[in-house]
Structure 1
Amino acid sequence: MKNNIVENPKIILIGSVNSSRKTLEKLLEHQLNVVAVLGLHPEAATNVSGYFDLKDLSESNGIAFQYFTKVNDTEIVDFVQSKNPDLVFAVGFSQIIREELLAIPKYGLIGYHPTRLPEGRGRGALAWIILGKVQGAASFFKMDEGMDSGSIWSQENYEVNDNDDATSVIHQILKAIDKALDAVLPNLKKGIFMTTPQDESKATYLGKRNPEDGIIDWKQSAASIHQLIRATTKPLPGAYTYLGTKKLVIWNASISEIKNHLGVAGRIVIADAAQGIHIQTGEGLLKIENIEGIEIDTLKVGNTLGFNFEKEYFKLSERIATIENQLKNGNQ
């Protein structure tokens, strides 16, 4: 599908993370006509993984910059309208763009998604990619009213192996964005904008992931738990467990090569300076390498990780019974 547009079109970029930064850098590298940038305000970025403030990069290149908190607010719509853009790049933020803003650019909006569309539409894609549920790709597409459903402008695959985690995959994504944009930006500058419709019969959708989905089930295999840790490590919220009622976040671990120990799932079976901390799982041992919430050298053989709801229920019942007895005796 070929769309004839003006040469060196006027472009606005909207974004909030490293993929937004990389896209802006590529637009500048190819000397596209970027007339303005909208960046998420730092005060609204508390829970944004991989946040990047676009203000300095924009202004150092002489580009008009405007912070936003809610992208559909009237002042933001008015700012975009005042720049009379031909295209808007919406890369790296989760807010839904409403019709009033969608209608402003003459030739539409270009969106971005880190899976090989039409596979893996939706949110939480990074974790799902590392969990092996969807193919990763830097996909740029012309946005329509659907969820990540517009026709594809450029697409570059990247691979994820058993050693990759959220941090390393983000680096691969940025490299894929480089290649995907290098393939199309020279033509865009000439006014050539070609897209290919997605095959709806192959569309799949990713369910939203929440921080609590990072809880570790020690009855799963060491390989499965290791994959969860890799899929949720920084800049994501992390995989976590409990020691008693204390929450522990495990940022890095490896599948142990030790085969001659056996214990209860979740229990530490080895803990020394030479060998490190090894925890029994449902299949194999997991070696903990980076943990938050406790000093790693205070973990001991016999400590059991994981929240035992039955055990805690009975503890709570006993506490309630004690308090009730105290109150009863105090009233006599």
Structure 2
Amino acid sequence: MRVVTFGYQTWGHKTLEALVDSRHEVVLSVTHPPSEHSYETIWSDSVEELARAHDIPVHLAQRPDADLIARVKAAEPDIIVANNWRTWLPRELFDLPPHGTLNLHDSLLPKFTGFSPVIWALISGESEVGLTAHRMDDGLDTGDIVLQKSVPITATSTATELVRATIDIIPEVLTEALELIETGTAVWTPQDLAARTFFHKRADIDSRIDWTWPADQIDRLVRAQSDPYPNAYTHFRGERLRVTKASVSQCIYGGTPGRVFIHEGDGMVIVAGADAHLGRNRGLVIERLRTDDGVEHDGKTFFPYGGGYLG
């Protein structure tokens, strides 16, 4: 089939790479210009560079306009494939090819619609994340599903590991979905939009640790903000601390949330949970942290003894 791609960052790059390696013909690659946004400089493999390396025409745009629509029409695609395109596409565009637009979204829709789905899924305590191939419609990630593949979330999974795992299955999901569409054997399943969960784009404040959260939820936040993401952070005596490794304590610790308490295992226990004063909660053990000067510290060395509060 003749394919036009809409994609950005490593997700768009992997999608275009899979199509280049397939029997389909990519007749136009549409992508965004580079961005300095913190989350958009992390997985930043260039779609533009890959397309040009394979002599594929490229169109750069932030959002669709008349010029973009004209270029897609001129390319005469059988289908559009989108992955990590960051702005809304009008029906005039996504319904233009005979097979419409196939969108790849890195969650198991209808859950975790929107932005940073892998991070939000890990924070939320889900048991799996994955990749969904669905038909684009007027909503955001609401179209009928043709194929899904899941990736398990373990007790030690980090967002970095999970993102890599979902990126790795892009070629498999895309190739199978296109085969189903081209052969007319695709079964399109409407989403149960009553079960939809919709998450916003993450910002710096979303990585700030709230010590009234239970320790297991804070542990998931730390793992969800693993390097190279902006780490989960807190403050101690006016200094910002980025927590890079933590675990839930073995023992129960009572008191006030955020209290720097006592050594356990490889780190320092911090009292956690809104009801910590009842003495029923486990604490968070900070095992590794990074100060704003970029220096790494182990928890026991940075906190040689208990006392004071994080906040």
Q: Structures share a fold, TM > 0.5?
A: yes
Q: What's the counterpart of residue 80 of structure 1?
A: 72
Aligned CA RMSD, in angstroms, stands at 2.9
SS of the counterpart of 1:237?
Answer: coil
| Contact 1:241 1:305 (8 Å CA) reproduced | no
Match of 1:311? none
- Contact 2:222–2:246 at 8 Å: present in 1 too? yes
Q: CA deviation at 1:140?
A: 0.6
Task: Report the number of matched residues.
Answer: 294
Compute the displacement of 1:241 (Å): 0.7
Q: Give 1:301's match in structure 2, choosing from 283, 301, 305.
A: 305
Give 2:116's aligned amino acid. G
C-alpha distance in structure 2 between counterparts of 1:10 and 1:192, whole Å: 16
237, 243, 251: which one pairs with 2:236? 243
Q: Does 1:115 align with 2:119?
A: no
Tell me which amino acid in the other structure corresponds to 1:52.
Answer: D
Shift of 1:194: 1.6
Q: 1:255 aligns with which of 248, 252, 256?
A: 248
Q: Quote the Cα distance in structure 2 between the aligned partners of 1:74 and 1:247.
A: 47
Distance 1:304 1:117 in 2: 43
Instruction: Look up the match of 1:50.
Output: 43
In the TM superposition, residue 11 of structure 1 has moved relative to its aligned partner by 0.6
Equivalent residues of 1:120, 1:204 under 8 A apart: yes
- Which residue identity does 2:230 align to in structure 1? P
Instruction: Give CA-to-partner distance per residue, 1:239-284, whole Å, 9 cap, x none.
Output: 1111233332223323355x49887643444579xx7541322223
Alignment equivalent of 1:148, drawn from 133, 141, 145: 141
Does structure 2 conserve the Cα–Cα contact (< 8 Å) formed by 1:55 and 1:65? Answer: yes
Q: What is the distance in 1 between the residues matched to 2:140 and 2:35?
A: 27
Identify the residue that residue 223 of structure 1 maps to in structure 2.
Answer: 216
3-state DSSP of counterpart to 1:288: strand
Verify: 1:281 aligned to 2:268, yes or no: no
Deviation at 1:74, TM superposition (A): 3.5
| Pair 152,42 (structure 1): closer, same or farther in 2 beyond 3 Å | same
Instruction: Structure 1: give runs of 5+ residues left out of the alignment.
Output: 1-8, 308-332
Q: Percent identity?
A: 22
Alpha-carbon distance, 1:139 to partner? 0.4
Cα 1:81–1:210, aligned 2, differ >3 Å: closer, same or farther?
Answer: same
Report the AA paired with residue 88 of structure 1.
Answer: I
Q: Which amino acid aligns with 2:33?
A: H
Decide whether the 8 Å contact of 2:29 with 2:59 is kept in 1.
yes
Q: Is residue 232 from structure 1 mapped to residue 232 from structure 2 by the alignment?
A: no
Aligned partners of 2:8, 2:256: CA distance in 1, in Å?
A: 44
Matched, 1:170 2:163: yes
* CA–CA separation in structure 1 for the residues paired with 2:65 and 2:241: 39
Q: Which residue matches 1:194?
A: 186
Higher mean C-alpha deviation, range 158-167 or range 88-97: 88-97
Letter in 1 for 2:270: Q
Q: 1:145 to 1:285 in 2, by over 3 A?
A: closer
How many Å separate the matches in 2 of 1:47 and 1:129?
A: 17
Instruction: Quote how far apart the aligned CAs of 1:168 are.
Output: 0.5
SS of aligned partner of 2:97:
coil
The answer for the alignment partner of 2:26 in structure 1 is 34
Give the secondary structure class of the aligned counterpart of 2:169.
helix
Give how far 1:161 is off.
0.8
Distance 2:76 2:175 in 1: 25
Give the drift of 1:35.
Answer: 0.8
User: C-alpha separation between the residues in 2 aligned to 1:280 and 1:136?
Assistant: 29
1:111: Cα distance to partner?
0.9
Gaps of 5+ in 2: 273-281
